[in-house]
A and B are shown apart, each in its own frame.
Chain A
Amino acid sequence: MLKKLLCIACAAALALGTMSLFVGCGGRQVEYDPDNFIADPDSEQIVKEKITINMFTMKASIQGQWEDMYLFQELERRTNIHVEFEEVGLKDVDQMKGLKWEDTENPTDAFFLGNQPYEIAQYSQLGALRELTGYDEYTGNTEQNLLELYAPNYSHWMEEYPEIERVTTQADGKIYAFARVALNAEGGEVATQYINKQWIENLNLASFGDTYVGESGLPETTEQFYNTLKAFKDYDANGNGNASDEVPIIAAMNDASLHFLSSAFGFVGTGIEIDNRETVLDDSGNEIPNPNYNKIVWVPSTQEYREYVQYLNKLYTEGLMHDGLFTNNDTNLNSLGIQGKLGSFTSSGAYFVVGQERDDEYVALPPLVSEHNGTQMVWEYAPRFDPSALIIPKTTPYYREIIRWMDQLYALENESLQYRGEKDVHWREIDDMEPTYDPIRGEDLKRWELIVPEGMDEIAFQATLTYQAGLGNAVFTTVDYDNSGDPYRMKMIEERQTYYPYLKRHLPQISHTAQELEEISALEDSINTYMKNNYGRFINGEQDPFNDATWEEFLNNMARFDYQSITQKYAVAYNRAFPDAPCANELQ
């Protein structure tokens, strides 16, 4: 009898335990009150009674809870909206975002940062996103759309820079996302290729005519660059008595150095690209019109790509390029840099890699030209206007509040909140340095520096103030963002100026329909697999890029993956985006 009772008790306990698997079914209970919203765009306060809004976002590992950041606490104080952030680390953000869309119990009200073009295209097509150019459903006003009514700052920038509207408009003519607006430079973001000027002077390379360097004192062609690297390797460039410990150039797969080198041959990338060079050079160095002018091409099928791969092969097999190309990471670069062994590398700032003592030795190398390409170009890896800042799902009733909240970030007077906090509390002006003129505000801006507490790292300090630390640019930046008084940052920004005349993206930003994106991606995935396979083998010499038969085979195999369709699809989308200046591809 006792045994029976015991058994029943155990069974009941187990049953309850299994039931606990199904708990957690609940939803948001708060009712939406449309009168709570303050529609006047001039008032800082957005709602009368405090409300809580959920936002989904990505975060860098250095950041803590976003609600604790000074920026968001200050915004909450002004706008009376408490934003509850759900932060996900960069590596998992794609997966978690997908799950979040399916989450009907705790839906989010907005997706902040990191929205991919494909997501925006597909979700807007399925009707899951709130149109920012739609109308306010609560007041029934159909004369002005939501952006005009509630986002005066953002609308102002849209008027000043029509590019913003062009890149955020989807294939159906409507706008669904806020764009990141970077007005701090004449172009988007670019990485700097540094070269060790000190070594060039040590070896007195300028005295050999134009074998090693051009008139500027730095290598200007790929030929000169090769010779300079060889000199770095063969002779004792860093003056420590050991002639063979220098690493002439170091790179990691897919980092900006490889893009820098391929730009010398005519294309900034190794995928789809539009060729806007008007002229190319023939074998005797004369300019001839470019047969591919204004055509969208698949770069690996071109002669220029072959020359680039041959050049890389030469650098790698002769030991000029560090042979950890396929396994290098930041730690390697840092280690070698601090020891003074690096001749050339890529980074946003030299002092990140080689430390502050050696920062002076390095200068930015202007884009190179090569035997058949006379046009200098450099890869712009992030554009000025990037439609990824914020999207709003259709299911949330708080869209007006979110638009007004987001608009606060685009106001000129709020700009400094986004990366340095409050004046004289977190940062101070530097009076004895030359101020910078800001064309947008029309006044001189004094340089600033952060007031970092003792023992704290600068970036870690910034991470307590704002979301921007560790994640790249803020949602809205002007010249003021680059106006730090830190001498190393100043040098970094100055070096970057070298590249602004030559910026190129592989394709201008064009929007596709979700259908097009899917087809293109399916084709591109397969061909990129094939490319991955062969690219490395050409560089390390397993396959010989100088051998015509091998190259023919490579091209034939690649044709199996139908890259012609890829260029066709891009050409169609391009012509739709630029009807007045279509590309030169023949459409079928």
Chain B
Amino acid sequence: MKEEVSVLAESRESSKTLPGKTGKKKLRAWYKNWQLYLLALPALAIIAVFCYAPMYGIVIAFKDYNVIQGIGGSPWADPIFKHFTEFVTDPYFLDMLWNTLRLSLCSLLVFPLPILFALLLNEIRVKSLRTTVQIISYAPYFISLVVSVSMCFTFLEYTQDRVGIINRMIMLFGLEPVKFMESAAWFPWIYVLSGMWQGLGWWSITYVAALTAIDPTLYEAAEIDGASRLRKIWHINIPGLLPIVSITLIMNLGNMLNVGFEKVLLMQTDLNYASSNIISTYVYEKTLGSVIKQYSYGTAIGLFNNIISLVLLLGANFTAKKLGGETIL
């Protein structure tokens, strides 16, 4: 380890003291690997054409866009930040922000579950059983969102004709049945837990892989020291997972405002609207869901959303760096 570091340091130093040679060296390096760059070219072209080029369309957030005059011909908004101020002064602004944040916070709360599941899987001795359980756990991930939301509705409903399975079990235990999908209080939990049902197996893959990469000699050492299974988990498995966990945690934090809109839109009903009105569904309502399509307004909200997300991501990364952990930027 130490030798590698010093070699790297040396090469960096040498390239620092000879600037001219660096330039030529770089060009030579590029030419030598021209096949790799060529291979990457179509992918870069696609990203450039489909991701970066359309970005000029963001300008409609500052205009009063209409379909006839198009992006170039539509008049500028007067004043230029009209749509942004309209959004921030909307009476529902704080509610939407809080609903979005609340969904993210609830997602963060269940963030440890895939880790625990990976630890659990790791404890299964019989390899064939372990692979079978893993495969069963990935199966829900491939179900489409629409199907899984409609499953949610079916299982959770409670009307005088039809009682879903969850409410039946609740009644078996003698408790009061609850109309889950018509309750604003339950919405974040249903959103998060149904997401967890789908994603638990999938997200635990990274952690299971990290666990298998842990040096087996550590276990032997712990065995000699007389550690029980639980202590082994606490002292070996968990520290082994920490680097990966911090990276995924940073990515999740950066995504705080990017709550996926399709699922919330599907789960939204008139009665849980107080909790399910989030920024991205509001954008949908304003642009495609209403009779008068306010494309400019929707774009402005989306832009606002993205800027805040970016700030959060950079902030989380910066804090992680300060705390001495791993960073992704």
Interface residues of A (CB under 8 A from B): 7, 10-11, 14-15, 17-18, 21, 94-95, 98, 101-102, 116, 118, 122-123, 126, 128, 247, 253, 319, 322-324, 326-327, 332, 336, 517-518, 521-522, 525-526, 529-530, 532-533, 535-537, 540, 560-561
Partner of B159, one of A10, A116, A118, A324: A324
Nearest A residue to B160 by beta-carbon distance? Answer: A323
**A101-B68, A533-B274 given as contacts; is B92 within 8 A of A521 (CB)?**
no
**A98-B293, A101-B67, A327-B157 given as contacts; is B271 within 8 A of A525 (CB)?**
no
B182 located at the interface, meaning its Cβ lies under 8 Å from any Cβ of chain A in the complex? yes
A522 to B294 alpha-carbon distance, docked (Å): 9
Partner of A518, one of B67, B159, B270, B292: B292
User: Do A118 and B270 have beta carbons less than 8 Å apart?
Assistant: no
User: Do B42 and A561 have beta carbons less than 8 Å apart?
Assistant: no
B293 surroundings in chain A (CB, below 8 A): 94, 98
A101 to B35 alpha-carbon distance, docked (Å): 44
A-B contact pairs, 25 of them (CB 8 A): A11-B38, A14-B42, A95-B288, A98-B67, A98-B293, A101-B68, A118-B291, A122-B66, A123-B68, A126-B68, A322-B160, A324-B159, A326-B271, A327-B157, A332-B161, A518-B294, A521-B290, A522-B294, A525-B290, A529-B92, A530-B91, A532-B273, A535-B270, A536-B270, A536-B271
Q: Name the prevailing secondary structure of the B interface residues.
A: loop
Nearest A residue to B285 by beta-carbon distance? Answer: A525
Nearest B residue to A557 by beta-carbon distance? Answer: B91
User: Do B91 and A561 have beta carbons less than 8 Å apart?
Assistant: yes
User: Do B273 and A540 have beta carbons less than 8 Å apart?
Assistant: no
B148 located at the interface, meaning its Cβ lies under 8 Å from any Cβ of chain A in the complex? no
User: Do A118 and B42 have beta carbons less than 8 Å apart?
Assistant: no
A529 surroundings in chain B (CB, below 8 A): 92, 273, 277
Nearest B residue to A517 by beta-carbon distance? Answer: B292
B286 located at the interface, meaning its Cβ lies under 8 Å from any Cβ of chain A in the complex? yes
Counting chain B CB atoms within 10 Å of each CB, which of A526, A530, A537 scores highest?
A537
Counting chain A CB atoms within 10 Å of each CB, which of B68, B157, B161, B182 scores highest?
B68
**A11-B38, A18-B46 given as contacts; is B277 within 8 A of A540 (CB)?**
no
A-B interface, 7 closest residue pairs, ranked by CB to CB distance from nearest: A324-B159, A521-B292, A536-B271, A101-B67, A128-B68, A14-B42, A126-B68
User: Do B286 and A18 have beta carbons less than 8 Å apart?
Assistant: no
Chain B nearest CB, measured from A381 CB (Å): 16
**A18-B46, A322-B160, A526-B92 given as contacts; is B270 within 8 A of A102 (CB)?**
no
Nearest B residue to A319 by beta-carbon distance? Answer: B160
User: Do A126 and B69 have beta carbons less than 8 Å apart?
Assistant: yes
A560 surroundings in chain B (CB, below 8 A): 91
Chain B nearest CB, measured from A336 CB (Å): 8
B66 surroundings in chain A (CB, below 8 A): 122, 126
A122 to B91 alpha-carbon distance, docked (Å): 27
A256 to B35 alpha-carbon distance, docked (Å): 67
A518 surroundings in chain B (CB, below 8 A): 292, 294
A95 surroundings in chain B (CB, below 8 A): 288
Chain A nearest CB, measured from B220 CB (Å): 47
B170 located at the interface, meaning its Cβ lies under 8 Å from any Cβ of chain A in the complex? no
Chain A nearest CB, measured from B83 CB (Å): 11
Known: A126-B69, A327-B269, A521-B291. 15 other contacts (CB 8 A): A14-B42, A18-B45, A101-B67, A123-B68, A247-B160, A323-B159, A327-B153, A327-B157, A327-B159, A518-B294, A521-B294, A526-B90, A533-B270, A533-B273, A561-B91
**A17-B42, A529-B277 given as contacts; is B67 within 8 A of A326 (CB)?**
no
User: Do B160 and A15 have beta carbons less than 8 Å apart?
Assistant: no
Nearest B residue to A100 by beta-carbon distance? Answer: B67
B41 located at the interface, meaning its Cβ lies under 8 Å from any Cβ of chain A in the complex? yes
Q: Name the prevailing secondary structure of the A interface residues.
A: helix
Residues 286-303 of chain B: 1 if any A CB is under 8 Å from the residue's CB, otherwise 0? 101011111000000000
Chain B nearest CB, measured from A353 CB (Å): 16
Chain A nearest CB, measured from B313 CB (Å): 30
A526 to B87 alpha-carbon distance, docked (Å): 11
User: Do B91 and A326 have beta carbons less than 8 Å apart?
Assistant: no
User: Do B67 and A532 have beta carbons less than 8 Å apart?
Assistant: no
B70 located at the interface, meaning its Cβ lies under 8 Å from any Cβ of chain A in the complex? yes
A7 to B41 alpha-carbon distance, docked (Å): 13
A537 to B271 alpha-carbon distance, docked (Å): 7
A323 surroundings in chain B (CB, below 8 A): 159-160
A540 to B277 alpha-carbon distance, docked (Å): 20
Partner of A118, one of B49, B90, B91, B292: B292
B70 surroundings in chain A (CB, below 8 A): 102
**A7-B35, A102-B70, A529-B92 given as contacts; is B292 within 8 A of A540 (CB)?**
no
Chain A nearest CB, measured from B69 CB (Å): 7
Chain B nearest CB, measured from A409 CB (Å): 26
A323 to B160 alpha-carbon distance, docked (Å): 7
Chain B nearest CB, measured from A121 CB (Å): 10
User: Do A540 and B182 have beta carbons less than 8 Å apart?
Assistant: yes
Nearest A residue to B292 by beta-carbon distance? Answer: A521
Chain B nearest CB, measured from A255 CB (Å): 13
**A126-B66, A529-B92, A536-B271 given as contacts; is B38 within 8 A of A324 (CB)?**
no
**A14-B42, A18-B45, A326-B270 given as contacts; is B288 within 8 A of A94 (CB)?**
yes
B290 surroundings in chain A (CB, below 8 A): 521, 525
B residues 24-63 touching A (CB-CB < 8 Å): 35, 38, 41-42, 45-46, 49
**A326-B269, A529-B277 given as contacts; is B41 within 8 A of A11 (CB)?**
yes
User: Do B90 and A324 have beta carbons less than 8 Å apart?
Assistant: no
A10 to B36 alpha-carbon distance, docked (Å): 12
A581 to B182 alpha-carbon distance, docked (Å): 45
B90 surroundings in chain A (CB, below 8 A): 526
A216 to B285 alpha-carbon distance, docked (Å): 46
User: Do A116 and B67 have beta carbons less than 8 Å apart?
Assistant: no
User: Do A21 and B49 have beta carbons less than 8 Å apart?
Assistant: yes
A521 surroundings in chain B (CB, below 8 A): 290-292, 294
A522 to B67 alpha-carbon distance, docked (Å): 18
User: Do B67 and A102 have beta carbons less than 8 Å apart?
Assistant: yes
A462 to B90 alpha-carbon distance, docked (Å): 48
Counting chain A CB atoms within 10 Å of each CB, which of B91, B271, B285 scores highest?
B271
A536 to B179 alpha-carbon distance, docked (Å): 13
A473 to B292 alpha-carbon distance, docked (Å): 24
Chain B nearest CB, measured from A244 CB (Å): 10
B69 surroundings in chain A (CB, below 8 A): 126
A94 to B285 alpha-carbon distance, docked (Å): 13
Nearest B residue to A525 by beta-carbon distance? Answer: B290
A319 to B45 alpha-carbon distance, docked (Å): 62
B49 surroundings in chain A (CB, below 8 A): 21
